[in-house]
A and B are shown apart, each in its own frame.
Chain A
């Protein structure tokens, strides 16, 4: 297991390097120097101070020198300072990261907690009314524009019924609430963003679980278990389900980039104070250091998620960790 762990860890190094390179490469597409945006707004900015700014960020150097400088600071997780308010980028991201992690971890939990029972129930009663209904749900889940789903839920639960807040993470009176009141307040704000960002994954995983279990039920050892007269529930939950759950672990790695990508959209729609909205606003304002910082952190989170999924897969399935 240790060998497998380090082999996986080692595989991440070239990927990490590739991530920094791609991010940096994309940044080079930018037309107009960011100093233009900064200084155009500010009439007091002279040509001389503009020059200073260029030199400060190394914008006058060729791209490989800029990349080298950036990489050197990257190792220390120093992404420079925001063009907008001159605050440290890593600090800005760090402030927003917990909210984004909260949103994504809750979505992931919701996906797994809801989708696995749905998938199992569909497989056990294949072609039943429930199974057919779920198939329709899955098709809709794959086809629904999630921004639209977000709007519909805002209209229905936020405006028409007035049950849930539709933006932010805290109410205006947050500071006056008791500890319990604060928790409840945050939870109410989280319901819509979490549901919306989990929706597509929910459809995907329940389908995957259903087909996986159906596959396992056809295996010889399940037939053997039935043949020796075990009750159906033991056959399904002890013999079949355990094996069908193994590949589900790898899906964790698949959903993570999807969820993090979703944060950029949903955090913007729900005015949620997370890293995704920070990144989106930075993109709109051409705040290059923040854009790069957020891009790299998002990719790192994905990489970490994949690594954890790989390790977990190796842990639950000995065939994986012993093969090359």
Chain B
């Protein structure tokens, strides 16, 4: 932990994430207006003292909507990555530890999934189901586990050959115990790096989906669906496009900084 604080990149990222979490938790205090309150008379107002980032096409306060949007983005990012980490780690460990045909099967499955442009697969599935925040989280999670599976499998393959694993097997420990107690702790650090970077990716995917109208649905404020409104009023209200994008950029940047910082810490070989 102390080393984490000494790495400037990671520290900056961590600080930004902490700030975002505080904003998300205290959204009612941080917001100046009700994010859903419409005020059609004051629609499409440019940024001013009363409305920090202006108002949208229904007269809602853009700043307050961005504040509440923090909740959506963080939630989607963390839960989607949680799902992909779970699937990726389990499949990767099975694949790497058992080997043989199970390994072949899982690895070919990964190859097949990687042939699809992820965004198209997600769009397809989402359009069949109801586009809402829960489905978005699950589907992003279920279409982003492939990289992690390969990563965990690779780690498992090398750990499997170590002497302490052989020792554990000679002692007659059950496979489940070997996997959980002896292998899992050793694959955690690369998974942690990959997951942190993955949160940023998931947030970007959510914003793209919501932008296309297949993600979080209005009136709930999500940075992506705010951008969609921005496109509709691109000729007259630049502030609708600019501010939500800055929010996404800052949030994703925070997770990427933390992820890269963690990588430098946990894997000195790749330090750049």
Q: Which residues of A contact B (CB under 8 A)?
A: 14-15, 18-19, 22, 26-27, 29-31, 139-140, 142-149, 151-152, 154-155, 159, 210-211, 214, 257-258, 260-265, 268-269, 279-280, 283-284, 286, 291, 294-295, 298-299, 302-303, 306
- B119→A264 contact, CB < 8 A: yes
- Taken together as a complex, chains A and B put the C-alpha atoms of A273 and B195 apart, in Å, by 36
Could you list some 29 contacts between A and B, CB below 8 A? A19-B112, A26-B125, A31-B128, A139-B260, A140-B249, A143-B200, A143-B204, A143-B256, A147-B208, A147-B211, A147-B224, A148-B244, A148-B248, A151-B231, A151-B234, A151-B241, A152-B241, A155-B241, A261-B117, A262-B119, A265-B119, A280-B123, A280-B212, A295-B120, A298-B116, A299-B116, A299-B117, A302-B116, A306-B115
| Contact with B242, one of A152, A269, A283 (Cβ below 8 angstroms) | A152
Taking the closest CB of chain A, its distance from the CB of B122, in whole angstroms, is 9
- Taken together as a complex, chains A and B put the C-alpha atoms of A262 and B204 apart, in Å, by 12
- Interface membership of chain B positions 115-138, coded 1 if the CB is closer than 8 angstroms to chain A and 0 otherwise: 111111101110111000000000
Task: Select the residue from A152, A283, A302 with max chain B CB neighbours within 10 A.
Answer: A283
Task: Select the residue from A31, A144, A151 with max chain B CB neighbours within 10 A.
Answer: A151
- Taken together as a complex, chains A and B put the C-alpha atoms of A284 and B115 apart, in Å, by 23
Given A29-B129, A283-B124, A286-B127, A148:B245 Cβ within 8 A: yes
B contact residues around A154 at 8 Å (CB): 234
Nearest first, the 3 A-B pairs at minimum CB distance are A261-B117, A148-B245, A18-B112
Taking the closest CB of chain B, its distance from the CB of A244, in whole angstroms, is 14
- A18→B119 contact, CB < 8 A: no
A contact residues around B252 at 8 Å (CB): 142-145
- Taken together as a complex, chains A and B put the C-alpha atoms of A268 and B227 apart, in Å, by 14
- B234→A159 contact, CB < 8 A: yes
Q: Is B164 an interface residue (CB 8 A)?
A: no
B contact residues around A146 at 8 Å (CB): 204, 208
Q: Which residues of B contact A (CB under 8 A)?
A: 108-109, 111-121, 123-125, 127-129, 200, 204, 207-208, 211-212, 223-224, 227, 230-231, 234-235, 238, 241-242, 244-245, 248-249, 252-253, 256-257, 260, 272
A contact residues around B235 at 8 Å (CB): 159
Taking the closest CB of chain A, its distance from the CB of B231, in whole angstroms, is 6
- Complex: chain A residue closest to B117, CB-CB: A261
Given A26-B121, A142-B200, A143-B200, A19:B116 Cβ within 8 A: yes
- Taken together as a complex, chains A and B put the C-alpha atoms of A211 and B271 apart, in Å, by 10
B contact residues around A302 at 8 Å (CB): 114-117
Given A147-B208, A214-B272, A15:B125 Cβ within 8 A: no
- B253→A143 contact, CB < 8 A: yes
- Taken together as a complex, chains A and B put the C-alpha atoms of A19 and B120 apart, in Å, by 13
| Contact with B249, one of A145, A262, A284 (Cβ below 8 angstroms) | A145
- Taken together as a complex, chains A and B put the C-alpha atoms of A221 and B224 apart, in Å, by 50
| Contact with B204, one of A145, A152, A295, A303 (Cβ below 8 angstroms) | A145
- Taken together as a complex, chains A and B put the C-alpha atoms of A263 and B123 apart, in Å, by 13
- A142→B256 contact, CB < 8 A: yes
- A145→B208 contact, CB < 8 A: yes
- A283→B253 contact, CB < 8 A: no
Taking the closest CB of chain A, its distance from the CB of B120, in whole angstroms, is 5
B contact residues around A280 at 8 Å (CB): 123, 212
- Taken together as a complex, chains A and B put the C-alpha atoms of A27 and B117 apart, in Å, by 16
A contact residues around B257 at 8 Å (CB): 139
A contact residues around B241 at 8 Å (CB): 148, 151-152, 155
- Taken together as a complex, chains A and B put the C-alpha atoms of A74 and B173 apart, in Å, by 50
B contact residues around A306 at 8 Å (CB): 115
- A22→B242 contact, CB < 8 A: no
Taking the closest CB of chain A, its distance from the CB of B171, in whole angstroms, is 35
A contact residues around B238 at 8 Å (CB): 155
- B123→A283 contact, CB < 8 A: yes
B contact residues around A214 at 8 Å (CB): 272
| Contact with A257, one of B116, B123, B128, B260 (Cβ below 8 angstroms) | B116
- Taken together as a complex, chains A and B put the C-alpha atoms of A146 and B205 apart, in Å, by 10
B contact residues around A159 at 8 Å (CB): 234-235
B contact residues around A26 at 8 Å (CB): 121, 124-125, 128
A contact residues around B112 at 8 Å (CB): 15, 18-19, 22
| Contact with B127, one of A142, A258, A269, A283 (Cβ below 8 angstroms) | A283
A sample of 4 more A-B contacts (CB under 8 A), given A140-B249, A268-B212, A302-B114, is: A31-B129, A151-B241, A152-B241, A299-B116
